[in-house]
Structure 1
Amino acid sequence: MPDGSRSPIRLWDATTTAPAEPAPGEPAAPPSRPLVMIWPGWGMGARYYDPIATELAGRGFPVAIGELRGQGGSTAVPSRTHRWGYHHMASEDYPLSIRAAKRELGLPVDHPTILLCHSMGGQIGFLFLSRPEAAELGVIGLMGVGSGTPCYRGFTGRARWRLFIGSYLMRAVAMSVGYQPNGPLDVAGYGRQSGDHVIEWTHYVHNNDLSDLRHSDRDYVAAQREVLIPVLLTRCSNDDDCPLESARNLAQALPNAPVEVEEIAEPLGHNRWAREPDVVATRCAQFAEACLRDAT
């Protein structure tokens, strides 16, 4: 990464649609199905998503799992001086990781790609869709699972008040310490996080937008109006961390894109779908095939 840190990428070859052996001296043909690039939620390491990656690979998709900066196997450690936010991950981590995954899997740079994003991964993914790198890298669709905005107005009851009050506490800690530390001050349980990321997230909680991001090279709110690729936002029926209204709030960021918001009936919570992957993998495969048809 540009900050000198390393973010590992977990890779799966498509295991059911292997191409025919190429003639001597000719490169192997790429798989016919899109690359599925998985992006974790906040505080989640990439390894957690191995079961759904394995399931999708078994259905013929090449799969890669990225790592959000500072999480899992990433070597980045947030501090008062080492800071990053939404823009840095959308403009650096996402495109660099997708390029590296395609290089290692032997795929063309513009090979069709579906982003399968969990929670925070979808918030960053929405920003990435508005960047030119998304088109250059062949991104043809984004599916979110439990991805919504953290705006407190999209929640009800205790969850609304936890977000409203807790976000002020998190902002105060990030402003005073310079980052979100582990331990008693980690009121959300996301672990050590970059101060800039936390501060931008708390703005999201209270304003439902990601404007004025640190070091941003564009007006993301305006750029998102130009996004036209298909998006599917799903949430499981018992996901208290992403009610339907939260997903609908995220959908509003792409006013001109074909965005669908739907509920998955199975009670797989906010995280468990990644470990019990059949239902989400089936829906992802359907979405990927539809996006591929639309793009060709």
Structure 2
Amino acid sequence: MPDGSTSPVLLFPGATRPLVMMWPGLGMGAHYYRPIAEALSERGFPVAVGELRGQGRSTAVARRNQQWGYHHLASQDYPRSIRGAKKALGLASDHPTVFLTHSMGGQIGALFLARPEARELNVIGMMGVGSGSPYFRTFSNPERSRLRYGGYLMQGVSKILGHWPDGALDVTNYGRQSDVHLSEWARFGRSNTLTKLRDADQDYMASMRSIGVPVLLTRFSNDSYCTVESCEALARLVPAQVEELPGTLGHNRWAREPQDVTDRLDAFVAAL
């Protein structure tokens, strides 16, 4: 990465089907998604699982003089990881690629789809699971209050320290996070807008509305961290279909019990 850190990508070879590029949620390492990656590989998809910067086995460490935000991940981490995965798997740079994203990974994925690199790398669609907007008005309490008031608290702590802390002070279990990234997330949660992103090189709010590839935003009925309304709020920024999946696999468990999601992704890709 441009800051000198490295970000490993888990690779699972497949046949000639589109590459499935998976992106984790906040505080999640790529290894957590191994069961679903293996299941998709068995269906003939080459699969790669990226890391969000500073998470999992990424070597980046957030500190006052080492920061990143939504734009940096969308413009640097995502395209570099895709290119590296395709090279390692022996795929052409324009091999068809589909995103399977979780939570924060889908928020950044929506930004990436609005970038020219998405077209250069032939990303033909995105399916999010538990990927919605953190907009507080789309949740009921106690999650609504946590997002509305907790966002201010987390933003304030990260400003003082230069990062959101890990260890005993990490009441969220998100792990150490960049102040810039966390502040942009908190602002997104208050306004449902992705504006004033650090170092942004384009108007993301305008370009997201022009995304021309299919986007499917899904969630399980018992996912308290991503409501239907949360998906609909993200769909107001990005043209997308919103769908509730059968089953009660919550916000995370689907990655370890992958049948429902692999079936839906298979159908999604077949329709592209």
TM-score range, shorter chain: over 0.9
CA distance in 2, matches of 1:73, 1:169: 27
What is the aligned counterpart of 1:43 among 27, 35, 40? Answer: 27
Give the CA deviation at 1:13: 0.7
Identity within the alignment, %: 58
Q: Over aligned residues, Cα RMSD in angstroms?
A: 0.8
- Residue 225 of structure 1: CA displacement? 1.8
Q: How many residues are paired up?
A: 272
* Aligned residues of 2:166 and 2:176 also touching (Cα < 8 A): yes
User: Paired residue for 2:181?
Assistant: 197
In structure 2, C-alpha distance between the alignment counterparts of 1:129 and 1:79, rounded to whole Å: 28
Cα contact 2:19–2:95 (8 A) shared by 1: yes
Give a deviation string over 1:151-206, Cα, whole Å, max 9, x none.
10010121101111111110100111110001343232201000000110110111
The answer as to 2:253 corresponding to 1:290 is no
Task: Give CA deviations for 1:59-116 in whole Å, capped at 9, x if unaligned.
Answer: 0100000000000000000001110000000000000000000001111101100000
Structure 1 SS opposite 2:263: helix
> In the alignment, is residue 91 of structure 1 matched against residue 75 of structure 2?
yes
For structure 1, which segment, 259-268 or 44-53, has the greater mean C-alpha deviation from structure 2 after superposition?
259-268
- The CA distance in 1 between the partners of 2:244 and 2:233, in whole Å, is 15
Q: How does 1:94-243 map to 2 (within 5 A)?
A: 94-243=78-227
* Contact 1:39–1:117 (CA under 8 A) maintained in structure 2: yes
Note if contact 2:246-2:260 (Cα within 8 Å) is conserved in structure 1: no
3-state SS in 2 of match to 1:157: coil
Measure the CA separation in 1 of the matches of 2:210 and 2:39: 33
- SS of corresponding position for 2:271: helix
**Which protein is bigger by CA-based radius of gyration?**
1
C-alpha separation in 1, matches of 2:270 and 2:53:
30
Matches within 5 A, 1:228-267: 228-254=212-238, 257=239, 259-267=240-248
Residue identity in the other structure for 2:135: C
Once residues 183 and 10 of structure 1 are traced to their aligned partners in structure 2, the CA distance between those partners, rounded to angstroms, is: 26
- Contact 1:173–1:185, Cα closer than 8 Å, also in 2: no
Taking the aligned partners of 1:188 and 1:163, their CA distance within structure 2 comes to 11
Residues 166 and 187, structure 1, Cα contact 8 Å, conserved in 2? no
Match of 2:4 in 1: 4
Paired residue secondary structure (1:64):
strand
Q: Partners in 2 of 1:147 and 1:136 — Cα distance?
A: 24
Unaligned runs of 5+ in 2: none
User: CA offsets, 1:206-239, max 9 Å, x none?
Assistant: 1101101001111100111221110000001110
1: CA distance between counterparts of 2:192 and 2:218? 19
Pick one of 29, 53, 75 that aligns with 1:69. Answer: 53
Aligned to 1:196, what secondary structure does the other structure show? Answer: helix
Is 1:81 the counterpart of 2:73? The answer is no
Moved more, 109-118 or 175-184: 175-184
* 1:234 alignment partner AA: T
When normalised by structure 2's length, the TM-score is: 0.98
1:114 alignment partner, SS class: strand
Measure the CA separation in 2 of the matches of 1:183 and 1:71.
14
Unaligned runs of 5+ in 1: 18-30, 292-296
2:253 maps to 1:269: no
For 2:259 and 2:201, locate their aligned partners in 1 and report how far apart those are by CA, in whole Å. 39
Q: Please identify runs of 4+ aligned residues in structure 1 that moved more than 3 A.
A: none
What is the DSSP-based 3-state SS (H/G/I as helix, E as strand, rest coil) of the residue aligned with 1:142?
A: strand
The 2-side partners of 1:86 and 1:54 are apart by 28
